[in-house]
Amino acid sequence: MQRPEKALRNQKSLSGRNFYAEKFHLEILNLSRLESSILLVIEPHQIQNLDLVILRSYISVLKSESAKLAQRMEAL
């Protein structure tokens, strides 16, 4: 997810109607699909040493339009 970094560098928002916001939205849709697929596999098996709360919080940071760059880097 490089869009947030580029948007920040170019002083553009990830929300609203602009190039970066539209590309970010498409990436979020892809991330949401991937999240659903992963959770369908992981949740029923309760994989040991995997904290779903932490995983979900990281994914939510990545989806956020307002998350700081440092938060995004930590989530990755």
Give residue 63's domain range. 3-75
In total, how many domains does the chain have? 1
The model carries a pTM of 0.73
**Length of the chain as a residue count:** 76
Q: What are the pLDDT digits (tens) for 45-55?
A: 777 667 788 88
SS3 of the chain: CCHHHHHHHCCCCCCCCCHHHHHHHHHHHHHHHHHHHHHHHHHHHCCCCCCHHHHHHHHHHHHCCCCCHHHHHHHC
Whole-angstrom distance, CA of residue 24 vs CA of residue 14: 7
How far is 76 from 71, CA to CA, in rounded Å? 9
List, for residues 4-58, the tens digit of each pLDDT value.
777 777 777 888 888 888 888 999 999 999 999 988 888 777 776 677 888 889 9
